[in-house]
């Protein structure tokens, strides 16, 4: 069941799930010892964690739940220390570290800073200045190190995702990046029908690999992608779909503008020397996205246009529904 959930959900569910059996025994023991206030604090935390666990399990909404867990933990920790005193101040360490596993680094640091100020106010009358200073410094260092670690981990996560969505040879977006782009467009429908899909396929590319070898073929693909990036707008998205087939998601254009762009790309490839003494051309199929159309249907229409361009003799552009606009 957990394998089907996001990383954020798993971390939050595990943290809440582990906190219940960790804190519940203390609440029961304190009930038996008639420490009613501390027992109430422990049981309140357990009940809160149980509610948050059920909320995340059923709704899969982690952001609000993460803030609630962190605030709940912090308030519970401060209440326990206020009631019991210095003897349980060590609970501040895991509580503050846990915040960095649940929230973004800046959010965790902000909540922990408030908790630290409250803790300083609670302990100031009860601890010698030297001991209090040592406690505050160690908690500040823990927060600093946790913040740096969290920020670096997030940065590495972003970099890994970017690398995972790039074609290793050409640097264009890969199939995974294309699928994510289409999914994002399905999620945010507004204005997305003013977007066109261009599928580009290098003509007779198998002959290049057979005659010159795959290393030369790879260099042709690299040169082709560099050429495309020089012409495409910053708002267009360029992907290597597979082999010698590429996709452009052109935003903010109708079929006429997309046809013009496709013809410019076709002509640019035809006039460029991607391989000496061997002409390289490209066939392109174009389809404008229809209102409420899913990505699969949209791609099929553009692919059908590419097939027509190939049948017409290659080095051609075909646009779906252009005559009807």
Q: Which strands make up the sheet holding 245-251, listed edge to edge?
A: 237-242, 245-251, 195-202, 282-288, 317-319
Whether 244 contacts 166, CB under 8 Å: no
Q: Rounded to whole angstroms, how far apart are CA atoms 177 and 135?
A: 47
* Cβ density class 202-231: b for 16+ within 10 Å, e for less: bbebeebbeeeeeeebebbbebbbebbeee
Whether 298 contacts 197, CB under 8 Å: yes
Q: What are phi and psi of 195, to 5 degrees?
A: -135, 140
CB-based burial label for 247 (10 Å; 0-12, 13-18, 19+): buried
- Number of continuous H segments (helices) and E segments (strands) in the chain: 11, 5
Residue listed under structure tokens 């100031």? 124
Q: Which candidate in 8, 244, 245, 263 is catalytic? A: 244
Q: Is 270 a catalytic residue?
A: no
Which residues are tagged catalytic?
A: 244
């Amino acid at each position: 069941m957990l394998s089907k959930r996001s990383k954020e959900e798993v971390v939050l569910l595990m943290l809440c799930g582990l906190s219940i059996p960790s804190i519940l025994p203390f609440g029961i023991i304190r009930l038996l010892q008639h420490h009613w206030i501390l027992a109430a604090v422990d049981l309140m935390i357990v009940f809160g964690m149980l509610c948050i666990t059920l909320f995340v399990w059923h709704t899969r909404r982690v952001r609000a739940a993460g803030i609630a867990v962190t605030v709940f933990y912090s308030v519970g920790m401060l209440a326990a220390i206020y009631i019991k005193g210095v003897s349980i101040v060590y609970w501040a360490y895991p509580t503050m570290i846990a915040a960095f596993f649940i929230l973004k680094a800046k959010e965790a640091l902000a909540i922990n800073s408030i908790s630290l100020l409250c803790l300083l106010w609670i302990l100031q009358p009860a601890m010698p200045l030297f001991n209090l200073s040592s406690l505050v410094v160690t908690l500040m260092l823990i927060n600093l190190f946790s913040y740096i670690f969290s920020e670096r981990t997030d940065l590495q996560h972003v970099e890994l995702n970017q690398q995972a969505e790039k074609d290793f040879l050409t640097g264009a977006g890969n199939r995974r990046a294309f699928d994510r782009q289409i999914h994002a467009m399905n999620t945010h429908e507004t204005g997305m029908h003013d977007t066109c899909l261009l599928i580009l396929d290098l003509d007779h590319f198998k002959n290049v690999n057979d005659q010159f070898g795959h290393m030369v073929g790879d260099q042709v693909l690299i040169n082709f992608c560099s050429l495309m990036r020089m012409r495409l707008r910053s708002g267009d998205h360029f992907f290597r779909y597979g082999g010698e087939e590429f996709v452009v998601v052109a935003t903010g254009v109708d079929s006429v503008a997309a046809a013009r762009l496709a013809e410019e790309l076709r002509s640019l490839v035809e006039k460029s020397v991607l391989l000496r003494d061997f002409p390289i051309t490209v066939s392109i199929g174009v389809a404008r996205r229809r209102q409420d159309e899913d990505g699969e249907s949209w791609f099929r229409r553009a692919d059908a246009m590419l097939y027509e361009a190939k049948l017409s003799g290659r080095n051609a552009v075909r646009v779906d529904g252009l005559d009807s606009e």
